[in-house]
Amino acid sequence: MVQVQVERFDFDVVVIGAGGAGLRAAIEARQQGKRTAIVSKSLFGKAHTVMAEGGCAASMGNVNAKDNWEVHFRDTMRGGKFLNNWRMAELHAKEAPERVWELETYGALFDRTKDGKISQRNFGGHTYPRLAHVGDRTGLEMIRTMQQKIVSLQQEDFEEHGDYEAMLKVFPECTVTELIKDGDRIAGAFAYWRDSGKFLLFRTPAIVLATGGIGKSFKVTSNSWEYTGDGHALALRAGATLINMEFVQFHPTGMVWPPSVKGILVTEGVRGDGGVLKNSTGERFMFGYIPDVFKGQYAETEQEADGWYNDQDNHRRTPDLLPRDEVARAINSEVKEGRGSPHGGVFLDIASRLPADEIRRRLPSMYHQFKELADVDITAQPMEVGPTCHYVMGGVEVDPDTTSSTVPGLFAAGEVAGGMHGSNRLGGNSLSDLIVFGRRAGLGAATYVDSLERRPTVAESEVDAAAHRAVSPFDWPSDGQAENPYTIHAELQQSMNDLVGIIRKEDEIQQALDKLVELRERAKFVAVEGRREFNPGWHLSLDLWNMLLVSECVAKAALMRTESRGGHTRDDFPSMESRWRNKLLVCSSDERGEYAVVVEKPQEPMREDLLELFELSELEKYYTDEELAQHSGRAGQ
């Protein structure tokens, strides 16, 4: 047997992921006096969080004093179609303002209103202006601020211990492949350095997953390369459960060309400011896609639609601004019927609608995005756009207050955690989610460590097994017929995109599941050349296992949920069903992560005082009569 060298480290808390949630969790764990590691797949400070532009939702009420946590809570529950974990939504709404302010004490500076208070902007689904922001680079500023906070803590530790890394150490470009348990509890994590390919073992009683999402399982996604569902898969293999995996948020307009930017978001603002969707014949096709439920609410002629931009009282709005899923469905149909643009999308035209200087003034970031990344001048040419996978609502099932999963010692925060957003996330609720639950995860992990009577230990056999599994892609099959990891990845992405994408139906999901069985079998024969030093082919081979497992969860849950709700649209079950409102689909897997099992489970009923925050007439749209029997609006009847 090959002897493998494994570097060993001891920590109290190991945080996997260095985006907003991971950094906030690590800061908290360190402030609670715990020796903390941050393990990051990318370079430190380069997390996907930097892409978040809109802002961070927090009901400070600076712009409209009527805003408060109750309004934010209601908006969040509505957005999620009442499938949210209500306790998470409550904690989030209550704590977000304090977390935003806390970032300012770390040195961030959010944009100000004219009188110098933290400014807040409007966003879809939020009743009042609520998003604290730093221009259109709020995520970048949050990451930068917390990165600086970490440097300050390390310099404090140097003063006290003579070692910058005495209490808080960052492991950049380091990927965790296995979680290791001692009995039923977390005992450690096995990882490799991306640059040298060498192995590491973290001995730790507590792990916080903060690994983000799963977008790289889809062909067209706004997500960056790290989003391969690592935390989701690690949790499953460790015996934890995932919920809400059928809910994936797609945005109808992403860039489709060139390949390096495929999937990057094109803001809804383009359509709000007059941009219209056209097919290859130049037809404004959205007029043919107004569904019955919206008939009468949208303009039926181009003339009326064009009148709406300047006179909204006397005109109905253009169908280019139908809800996201309707727009995406229409684009899908046009492309499938052969009326798409050269690179498989449709055209979004603002050039023929507004003067060039007006476009540059209203949409500066879009102008630059297309100019610099696609060499398209949007003041002169149409853009090519298509639906793109943006965010996964599903994730690790956690205790809302501590973020603990069902496995003792395993915590999760941010996009990798499930429940907070229910079936659909509101824009702006993600950055706030990261800092509210990032902090709670650090605190939850620290409290858990304090409660332990005995440190768990890592068995050597587990380390050997993890090492051998990690190097297995270098073993070429005896007949030399190896599979290329890029080929399997491309086929997986194509299949998930086409068959479990924005619009779903039974036979297509079934086809995707059959394809997953085939890909899983072929993935056993993946082999790569070269050595372990910075070898992206090898890295992808290891990520593939995670993507295959997580994709199976998405597909199986999507097949089971026979309704349409939020980020899950079934062509064969187009309406929302109140009998599905209180049901969670819970995913688990075997230890090797070779198959996923999905079962149904009832959701805990909302606490009475929270339920009372809603009008009965609104609840009646979502709840069954039995569930509402105790509401004060009915109790008197």
Partner 1 sequence: MPGEDVRVSVTRSDPDAPAEFTVPRIRPMMVLDALLAIQRTHDPAIGFRFSCRVGMCGTCTVRVDGRSVLACQTEIDEDTEHIRVDPLAGLPVLRDLVVDTAPFWRAWAAVTPYLVPGEDQEVGMDAEPAVIPPDSAERETIDPSLDCIGCAACFSSCGIASARRDFLGPAALNRAMVLVADSRDAAGAHRMDVVGAGSGVDRCHYIYGCTAACPKGLDPARAIRRLRRGRFGGKD
Binding site for partner 1 (CB under 8 A): 42-48, 50-51, 98, 101-102, 104-107, 109, 111-112, 114-118, 134, 137, 140-141, 144, 148-149, 151-152, 154-155, 195-196, 224-226, 258-261, 264, 369, 372-375, 484-486, 528-531, 533-538, 540
Longest dimension (CA), the chain: 79
Q: Which is nearer to partner 1, 482 or 597 (CB)?
A: 482
Query: Of the listed 48, 203, 271, 532, which one is catalytic?
Result: 271
Q: Which residue lies nearer to partner 1 by CB, 18 or 209?
A: 18
Residue 283 and residue 91: Cα distance in Å, rounded? Answer: 47
Provide the minimum distance between the beta carbon of 484 and partner 1 in the complex, in angstroms, as a whole number. Answer: 7
Closer residue to partner 1 in complex, CB, 46/522: 46
Instruction: Reply yes or no: is the peptide bond before residue 258 cis, omega within 30 of 0.
Output: yes
The set of residues, in sequence order, having a beta carbon less than 8 Å from that of 618 and lying 6+ positions away, is: 78
Are residues 327 and 291 in contact, defined by beta-carbon separation less than 8 angstroms?
no
Rounded Cα distance between 625 and 46, Å, is 49
Minimum CB separation from partner 1 for residue 143, in Å? Answer: 9
Burial class (CB in 10 A: 0-12, 13-18, 19+), 85: buried
CB of 31 to partner 1, least distance (A): 12
Phi-psi domain of 224 (left: phi exceeds 0; alpha: psi -120 through 50; beta: other): beta
Pairwise CA distance, residues 608 & 600, whole Å: 24
The number of CA neighbours under 13 Å toward the Cβ of 247 is: 30
In angstroms, give the least distance from the CB of 194 to partner 1.
9
Give the nearer residue to partner 1 in terms of CB position, either 264 or 463.
264
Q: Could you tell me which residues come within 8 angstroms of residue 52 by beta carbon, excluding any fewer than 6 positions away?
A: 138, 139, 142, 430, 431
* Spatial CB neighbours of 142, under 8 Å, sequence gap ≥ 6: 20, 49, 52, 56, 103, 108, 431, 434, 435
Identity of the residue, 27 or 585, whose beta carbon is nearer to partner 1 in the bound complex: 27
The reply to whether 607 belongs to the active site is no
Pair 582, 526: CB distance under 8 Å? no
Q: What minimum distance in Å lies between the beta carbon of 50 and partner 1?
A: 5
Distance CA 416, CA 325 (A): 23
Closest CA to 393 of 39, 89, 25: 89
Q: Which two tokens stand for residue 588?
A: 């688990």
Which lies closer to partner 1 via its Cβ, residue 488 or residue 584?
Answer: 488
Identify the helix (H) or strand (E) that includes residue 488.
Answer: helix 485-499
Q: How far is the CB of 534 from partner 1 (least distance, A)?
A: 4
CA 211 and chain centroid, separation: 10
Q: Which amino acid type is present at position 424? A: N
Give start and end residues of each alpha helix (H) in 342-475.
356-362, 364-374, 429-451, 460-471
Question: Would you state the structure tokens that stand for residue 243, as one six-digit string?
Answer: 């919920």
- The candidate with the shortest Cα–Cα distance to 188, out of 199, 175, 178, is 178
Q: Is the sign of the CA dihedral 425, 427, 428, 431 positive or negative?
A: positive
Q: How far is the CB of 317 from partner 1 (least distance, A)?
A: 30
Angle at the Cα of 156 (from 152 to 161), degrees rounded to 5? 140
CB closer to partner 1 out of 115 and 453: 115
Kindly state the smallest distance separating residue 39's Cβ from partner 1, in Å. Answer: 16
Q: Which is nearer to partner 1, 140 or 209 (CB)?
A: 140
Of 30, 74, 78, 251, catalytic? 251
Judge whether 30 counts as a catalytic residue.
no
The least distance separating partner 1 from the CB of residue 344, rounded to whole angstroms, comes to: 14
Q: Which is nearer to partner 1, 170 or 299 (CB)?
A: 170
- State how far the Cα of 503 lies from the Cα of 553, in Å rounded to an integer: 17
Catalytic residues: 251, 271
